[in-house]
Amino acid sequence: MRIDQALTYIHSRPKAGKKDSQERMQALLATLDHPEKRLPEAIHVTGTNGKGSVSTMLSAIAQADGLKVGLFTSPYLVVFNDRFQINGQNISDDELARYTDRVRVAADEVEEQSDGRLIVTEFEVVTAIMLCYFADQDLDLAIIEVGIGGHYDSTNVLTTTAVAVVTSIALDHQKLLGDCLSDIASQKAGIIKAGKPTVLGAHLPKEAESVIRQVADSKKSPVTVAGANGPEYKTALVGSFQRENAQTAIAAYRAFRPNSRAALIQEGLLHAQLPGRFEEIISGVFLDGAHNPAGLAALQKTVQERFDGPVDFVVGALADKHLEGSLQRLVEDPRIRLHLFAYDGLPGRAGMDLSLFMPSQEASVIQTVDEALALKRKSKRPLIFTGSLYFIADVRRQLCQMKKSSAQS
């Protein structure tokens, strides 16, 4: 199997199956001879926002600590291989193709043995590739980001979880997780393991924290809430929200290795890099994947702290993110000039209907990245692309290609 064939196969899988079951995943792992049982200790990270940043910071700290660490995140922003990293290095095309072929054979066997009842989904295939790859790499630590939720997520098959982390709780993916914070918290608390520590972000809503604590108590899992106590740390990731994420990562790593030195943690945080998180891709042009109301609120706070004058926001989002209230708050912010991007969305997930999401006539529509850049050249204001991580990935690829073409000309 070549890399192009591997990616075609992965993306051809169904996007979803029965939402409240791990039967497909368990059958796939049994056919693969249970690679999850051969993983090293793992830090399992869930949360509405911040889990990618926290996972990346944890990986950087662990590397500074001399560990060989695997990092699994989603979605990717540069190349698909980004999702599987060992000490900051992506899986190679050859390895990705080889492990995809192994999982493909197993998935076909699962489908055949179940008479077509169990059809393995795309994210289950991706998770199985990660588990097989990490199991073969003689790792010291695996840091694994949840896809959606926790309890029924395909990553929640781990048998070696050392620390469970819940970065934040807010409304998102309500069709899958529930319509209230307590329901969402209950799903995310599903990654907590008996007798193993749980780390919570600093400002979880009380009703969500209460649910998680109840689950942790039932499993005799000690709970730590991340906070600002202790030395002040700097991080390479920019944005006011990254201070909180850093606190969560520090608390999680100390739960894993209680005696970790402050200097080691600081070294790791200064090496943590993650595309699409308030990333200045070219001068005065920023990318931030604030894809839900809580994320947009955090980005708005960063803008208020970082810029004195007005800033142009270009928002490209999916229809299922319910951003009406957030967009109205952006329009009302005197620092922000709001523009909505005509984003088509993904197969099976449409972009937002601009006629429904227009909070006022003050929000214009941007059709292309070139049009947004022309706006910046005319206005001389900072420009921030934000919204869906898939939208941000598309914009990032276009901007990087423009930079490359400009450098060659």
In the chain, the domains with their CATH numbers are 3-271 (3.40.1190.10), 279-408 (3.90.190.20)
Q: Retrieve residue 266's tokens.
A: 């600081």
Nearest to 314 by CA among 334, 288, 281: 288
Residue 311 sits at the vertex; the CA angle it makes with 306 and 317, to the nearest 5 degrees, is: 105
CB-CB contact of 9 with 105 (8 Å) = no
pLDDT digit string (tens) for the chain, length 409 residues: 899 999 999 999 998 766 678 999 999 999 999 999 999 999 999 998 889 999 999 999 999 999 999 999 988 888 999 999 999 999 999 999 999 999 999 999 999 999 999 999 999 999 999 999 999 999 999 999 999 888 999 999 999 999 999 999 886 544 555 458 888 899 999 999 999 999 999 889 899 999 999 999 999 999 999 985 656 788 888 877 788 899 999 999 999 999 999 999 999 999 998 888 888 988 999 999 887 888 888 888 888 888 988 999 999 887 766 676 778 788 888 889 989 888 887 777 777 777 766 655 566 889 999 999 999 999 999 999 998 888 898 999 999 888 777 766 6
Q: Which residues contact 310 (CB under 8 A, 6 or more apart)?
A: 334, 335, 336, 337, 381
* Residues 276 and 288 sit within 8 Å (Cβ to Cβ): yes
Q: What is the pTM of this model?
A: 0.88
Strand pairing category for 311-316 and 383-387? parallel
